[in-house]
Amino acid sequence: MTDRARIVIIGGGVAGIEVATSLGRGGHADVTLADRSLSHVWKPMLHTFAAGTARVDRQKVDFFAQARRNGFRFQPGALVGIDLRSRRARLAVEAADGHPQVDLAYDLLVLAIGSRANDFGTPGVAEHCLTIDDLTEAEQFHTQLRRHLLARLDRGGMLGIAIVGGGATGVELAAELKHAINLLSAYGSPDLPERLRLTLIESGPRLLPAFPEAVSRAAARTLSDLGVAVQTNAMVTGADAAGFSLKDGSHIPAGLKVWAAGVKAPDVLASLDGLDRSRTGQLIVGPDLRTTRDPAIIALGDCASLSDPRSGKPVPATAQAARQMAQHLARHLGRALARSDAVAAELPPFHYVEKGAIVSLADFNGWGTLGRYTFGGGRLNGLSARLTHDLLYRQHQIGLYGPLRGTLTWLLDDLDRLISPTVRLD
């Protein structure tokens, strides 16, 4: 038995693993992290695993090992319910001993279970399209890509891939796939790039709507130069085995279809009674990140809906915002716990600092805008943007591993790139 506060964190993604690591290291609370997966990956890298241009095994963080090194406990399982009155989170676990559910009692529950693409109920999408919202899905995509590629290598013909969603995910995935196919053409099929018919479909008037127009134009131009068919103002009305139907009556043929548009909360949040949710299902939180109707529950990252109290603007569903929320909570809750305040201690309001947005088009190009508050505004282009994109991930890694192991991991990744294949089909 312990009299330390019981903090349960559900979801060990960009936000959750940083909070668990930091509070666990502080040693002032009994911290448990739960996740439906056994390892953490940096979600903004999923498209590289899907395309086969990055090695998953090098980038996974084993939750059990991270917990042991950093003073917290890891509990595998998927959140299926919360009893707000008795303060228990219920997890479904894949256990062989006939105990498929575990209840975790908490004094403070931190929900950081991320988000999913939103198909807005478009007919045929659930049956015929892949999404790339977690590692399992990225690996499924890779398996499908391999099957389609092997069929084309054997029998010739065109390889049709269509991606719906011209935000950063769709744009980065399109570029990464083009990059992968170019590299794969060296494996005995030099005409493979010409046999790829890759279409990027966006319902709005331009790609990358969160970026300045000049960046959207430059990204569209780079993709077009690479041979990607970019269709804007194109509303998808349905998907079938052969491709996508558009509102204007046209049909885009594609054997491999990806839905990378929209953001919505994971379905489990819809089943929780007693908490306020946004239109897209995220939990509504106040500036202290506590849910509006239950202060014993905090929501972070993509599964939280929050307007910045200073600007009044919604905090975006990005890795940058998820990290900032995690760091804010870890810092202030950590201090309160060190003073042995109850977990109900008042937390200062969270302010989102826009540090810019960066998009990286594989090895081809990259653009970024710097936030007003960091460098007085400005633009990054080409290599500098791609390096800055990488740096966000490396900062996260250093936070998880500490400066020495984090830097060594970075170095090993760079060395590995010198000896491993640049693209994999296994």
Ligand X SMILES: Cc1cc2nc3c(=O)[nH]c(=O)nc-3n(C[C@H](O)[C@H](O)[C@H](O)COP(=O)(O)OP(=O)(O)OC[C@H]3O[C@@H](n4cnc5c(N)ncnc54)[C@H](O)[C@@H]3O)c2cc1C
Binding site residues, ligand X, CB under 6 A: 10-16, 34-37, 40, 43-44, 46-47, 78-79, 112-114, 132-134, 168-169, 172, 266, 268, 301-303, 317-320, 322
Q: Report which residue's Cβ sits closest to ligand X.
A: 13
Q: Among candidates 5, 16, 31, 11, which has minimal Cα distance to 91?
A: 11
Q: Is 50 exposed, middle or buried (0-12, 13-18, 19+ CB in 10 A)?
A: buried
Looking at beta carbons only, is 154 or 273 nearer to ligand X? 273
- What distance, in Å, lies between the first and last C-alpha atoms of the chain? 48
Smallest gap from residue 12 Cβ to ligand X (A): 5
> How far is it, in rounded angstroms, from Cα 363 to Cα 348?
41
Looking at beta carbons only, is 45 or 149 nearer to ligand X? 45
Q: Among candidates 31, 93, 87, 101, which has minimal Cα distance to 274?
A: 87
Residue 387 tokens, joined: 């390096």
Looking at residue 268, the DSSP 8-state letter turns out to be G
Q: Among candidates 313, 360, 357, which has minimal Cα distance to 176?
A: 360
Looking at beta carbons only, is 192 or 326 nearer to ligand X? 326
Looking at beta carbons only, is 135 or 423 nearer to ligand X? 135
Smallest gap from residue 325 Cβ to ligand X (A): 8
Looking at beta carbons only, is 48 or 182 nearer to ligand X? 48
Smallest gap from residue 254 Cβ to ligand X (A): 18
Query: What Å distances lie between residue 387 and 67, 367, 380, 382, 390, CA to CA?
Result: 30, 10, 10, 9, 5
Looking at beta carbons only, is 185 or 388 nearer to ligand X? 388
Smallest gap from residue 8 Cβ to ligand X (A): 11
What is the chain's length? 426
Smallest gap from residue 53 Cβ to ligand X (A): 13
Q: What string of DSSP letters covers 372-399?
A: HHHHSS-EEEHHHHHHHHHHHHHHHHHH
Looking at beta carbons only, is 113 or 330 nearer to ligand X? 113
The set of residues, in sequence order, having a beta carbon less than 8 Å from that of 410 and lying 6+ positions away, is: 394, 397, 398
Smallest gap from residue 251 Cβ to ligand X (A): 26
Smallest gap from residue 30 Cβ to ligand X (A): 19
Are 125 and 258 contacting, i.e. CB atoms less than 8 angstroms apart? Answer: no
Which helix (H) or strand (E) segment holds residue 236: the answer is strand 236-240
